[in-house]
Structure 1
Amino acid sequence: MIAMIRIRDGTSSSALCKLDLMRFTEEQVRERMSERGIRDDAFFVCGFVDWEVDRVMTFQEAYALKKCILGLYDGDDYVVQELLKRQKPFGEIISSCYEFCSKNEVETVQKLLSGLGPEELVNCFYKFCSWPRLVANYINAGYLLQTSKGFYLNRFR
């Protein structure tokens, strides 16, 4: 999780450094910045080099992502990377917890629909008219994440 750090100077900004957020706490970084005479509101993250993600965010937001990775995903940053690359809103990223379901679309849909009764199942297929629309609806609603590794279900939805 190597962040590109920039310093705001009036109406422009300049690159400061690349920083591995997993190695340092937010407090350590803020303390070091203060020692160098850099105010808290003057530096920000403009992306992550190792993830090939360009995205402007505050330091607090970047460390909230770190907390999310460590707390919800046991240190595996794959899902957070995917969500950032898809330009998902910050609030959606930290309020979701995706769990691997399957590489197989059929198994995934079976799991999604496993709690539905016969009438609800018929209504569901009638509403969406097709398999692709059904899957797309769950993806658009944030219940399902489709990646190159397979399908992930959102535990918090």
Structure 2
Amino acid sequence: MDVTVRGIEADDRAAWDELYAGYARFYKTEQTAAMRDRVWGWLSDPANPVRGLVAVDAHDVPVGLAHFRPFHRPLSATIGCYLDDLFVAHAARRSTAAARLLGELERIARAEGWSVVRGITRENNYRARVLYDRFATRTEWVTYDAIPAPVAGTVDG
């Protein structure tokens, strides 16, 4: 399958929606249409730091996606890039879609002067880890998540 990578466009919404729902299923994460609407809003807002790429087939149909954003790195006084999401449709898994998405992200990082491209994946996501091992170095850092309690009177509380 011949694929190219480009920025997400308004006409990609339906295909992106299917891909992002597939990504949530892959990670066994509950995701609603309202949640996808919110993320699409971020991706569509030029003032929002979250950006997106799609890998498209020869007919310009998205078969993969990547979401990323800059983040401040105070200790090194630099800006890095955080890869939030990378997903390729099952039918395109043996294509170059994921590698091309990572390659484009690396090109963007160089152009932006970002000091690092960082991302995470599950320990048992062996297929993705083989690809990531080609593009990056596994770090010694352990990740922790603390979930704050909702504040009364807010959207979540």
TM-score interval (norm. to shorter): under 0.3
Higher relative contact order (CA 8 A, sep 6+): 2
Q: TM-score, normalised by structure 2?
A: 0.23
Q: TM-score, normalised by structure 1?
A: 0.23
Comparing both structures, which one devotes a greater share of its residues to helix? 1
